[in-house]
A and B are shown apart, each in its own frame.
Chain A
Amino acid sequence: MTGDPLYLDGVDLVDVSIMAVKVLVAFTFLLVATMFMVWFERKLISDMQNRIGPNVAGPWGLLQTFADGVKFFFKEDLRPENADPLVFRLAPYISAVTAFLSFAVVPIGGSFGGGSSGTVTIFGRETYLQVADPPIGILFLLAMSSIAVYGVMLAGWASGSKYPLIGSVRASAQAISYEAALGMATVVVVVLAGTLSTHGIVAAQSGGFTRWFLVSSGIVPFIVFLIAATAELNRPPFDLVEAEQELVGGFHTEYSSIRFALFFLAEFMNVITMSAIMVTLFFGGPAGPIFFGMTWFWPTIWFLLKVLAFLFVFVWFRATLPRLRYDQLMHLGWKLLIPLILFWLMFISLKELRATYDWNWVVTYGAAFVALAIGGSLLVAALRAGDRAYQEELEEV
């Protein structure tokens, strides 16, 4: 059975207080990290564009986000006349709450491998360095990201205005399309780890760089996950949801003041959470060399550094890649990513089966190759036929 060892011997007051401290630390960490993420993004993008960026509030403009936050509080809170009052108020909270909750399943520290199972001891109690380790683990993340769609969708609809509605319809179509690829890339990791629990997934990757699922799953699932995650986050180059040139601000056009701040917060928080999830799934979570016997210190540092690398990647995407057109977006999602990851999932499952039942190498991979050749050529033929029909339709005009 999976689960935090904290609860094995019943729950008492100390357990509850440890839990409360964990929740508080995760909450504060996310808020502060979001604040600096906004600053980091603005500063980095201005560097990439030969600008200076925020530099007035605090040293190097570090307090700029804080100043913006305070300003949001004092802004007038508008509600359009056509808006649906209840849903209009509900939507930002759905976005913010799901963004907070997703982070709960990420293990942010603890040393794995070499006999230790990633526990740390606080007040004489052994526990994991993550807020919760439910048996469904990574499915919880998928559940939260599918609920997060509601925030965007309802915000767009409840505003009672054109551009938000178009933005939210785009957003939900995009989220549903890429959720399939995201989910299947996750399934590859789950097949390799043999567990859904995030803690178990990290534990399965302990023991050096080559054990990371980035390597043992053959990089493809990671690339698919990265692309799908970027789309799921509505980050550039997949930010059609709030394409300024076409939709004003997309789903949050009509929002102002603190409600807009909540959307803003949720968006950046999701970037951090998604980076953390990628580190957990493919980069061994908190795995890394430990110096001076400080087993409680180094894993968390490695984890944070890895997350920071991904945050940089997301900002980099934004600064360098042009936005996709809507049909390109759908094309990439449905015709490229999903068939690719579906094939990869079958391949990895076959590889695992072969290892378990000790099947013959040549027969197994020979059969797989024949199946791939047949299935692949059928798929390519179908895609070509579809494209041709589409082109003909265009030319007939």
Chain B
Amino acid sequence: MVDTLVFVVAALICLIGALGVVLARNPVHSALMLVMTLFGIAVQFVAQEAHFLAAVQVIVYAGAIVVLFLFVIMLLGVDRAQNLEMSFLPIQKWAALLFAAGSLAIVVALIVVVGEPVTGAEAMSGALGGTDDVRLLARSLFSDYVYAFELTSLLLVIAVIGAVVLVRKPKVTDPVTAEDGGR
């Protein structure tokens, strides 16, 4: 009873947030709606006893990634409603529509074909057999999936270094910009 209620409320929050991300005219409002969706997902994680994933969801996604989104939106000054009629490719709009409809069709088809979308299987990250989920998650991360985990972190480091190299400006010769870069 309570579980169903929590699920319905959190799912509604997720869906409203997701719709808001797409429909809001103002990019900052979109980003805030995204935060709302992420919170809804975090609540779903808690309902599945995956407390750690819920915390990570809030700390990493809501707390860091969307903050960076907002940062970029504010710094680039695109924080006012944009003219959405403009598109870079002539078929862009239609392609987007097609892909959206396609993904929806796949999800619906999967539910229909499987026939029983609720499997009752517990989440891997959930609290199985009384061990708390942090321990469980750590054990699988550092034993079975340790190579995948380390390679992913390596990939992230490469991405960071790549980004730094790409944005590194050649030596400044224009005194005005140099002064800006200084103190």
The distance from the CB of B81 to the nearest CB of chain A, in whole angstroms, is 11
The distance from the CB of B141 to the nearest CB of chain A, in whole angstroms, is 15
B61-89, CB under 8 A of A: which get 1 and which 0? Answer: 01110011011001100010000000000
Chief secondary structure at chain B's binding surface:
helix
A1 to B132 alpha-carbon distance, docked (Å): 6
B32 & A87 in contact (Cβ 8 Å cutoff): yes
B55 interface residue per 8 A CB criterion: yes
A190-207, CB under 8 A of B: which get 1 and which 0? Answer: 000000100000000000
Size of the A side of the interface (Cβ < 8 Å), in residues, is: 33
The distance from the CB of B64 to the nearest CB of chain A, in whole angstroms, is 7
Contacting residues, chain A, for B59 (C-beta < 8 A): 139, 142-143, 146
A143 to B179 alpha-carbon distance, docked (Å): 38
Contacting residues, chain A, for B127 (C-beta < 8 A): 1
B42-55, CB under 8 A of A: which get 1 and which 0? Answer: 00000000011011
A157 & B132 in contact (Cβ 8 Å cutoff): no
A136 & B71 in contact (Cβ 8 Å cutoff): no
Spot the interface stretch: B4-12, B114-122, B149-157, B170-178. Answer: B170-178
B171 & A325 in contact (Cβ 8 Å cutoff): no
Known A134-B51, A393-B178, A396-B178; contact A143-B63, beta-carbon cutoff 8 A: yes
Within A120-167, the residues touching B (CB, 8 Å) are 134-136, 139-140, 142-143, 146-147, 149-150, 153-154, 157, 165
B41 interface residue per 8 A CB criterion: no
The distance from the CB of A212 to the nearest CB of chain B, in whole angstroms, is 23
A154 to B71 alpha-carbon distance, docked (Å): 10
Q: Which of A135, A150, A397 contacts B182 (CB 8 A)?
A: A397
B140 interface residue per 8 A CB criterion: no
A147 & B133 in contact (Cβ 8 Å cutoff): no
Within A313-354, the residues touching B (CB, 8 Å) are 325, 327
The distance from the CB of A97 to the nearest CB of chain B, in whole angstroms, is 13
Known A139-B55, A397-B182; contact A147-B63, beta-carbon cutoff 8 A: yes
Q: Write the chain A residue with the least CB distance to B133.
A: A135
Q: Write the chain B residue with the least CB distance to A158.
A: B28
Known A135-B51, A136-B52, A157-B28; contact A150-B179, beta-carbon cutoff 8 A: no
B178 & A397 in contact (Cβ 8 Å cutoff): yes
Contacting residues, chain A, for B54 (C-beta < 8 A): 136
Which of A135, A140, A327 is packed against the most chain B CB atoms within 10 Å?
A: A135
The distance from the CB of A125 to the nearest CB of chain B, in whole angstroms, is 21
B26 & A135 in contact (Cβ 8 Å cutoff): no
A169 interface residue per 8 A CB criterion: yes
12 more contacts with CB within 8 A, not counting A157-B28, A396-B173, are: A134-B51, A135-B52, A135-B134, A136-B51, A136-B52, A143-B59, A146-B63, A147-B63, A154-B70, A179-B64, A325-B183, A393-B178
Provide 6 A-B residue pairs closer than 8 Å at the C-beta atoms, listed in order of the A residue.
A142-B63, A154-B32, A154-B70, A157-B28, A169-B71, A393-B171
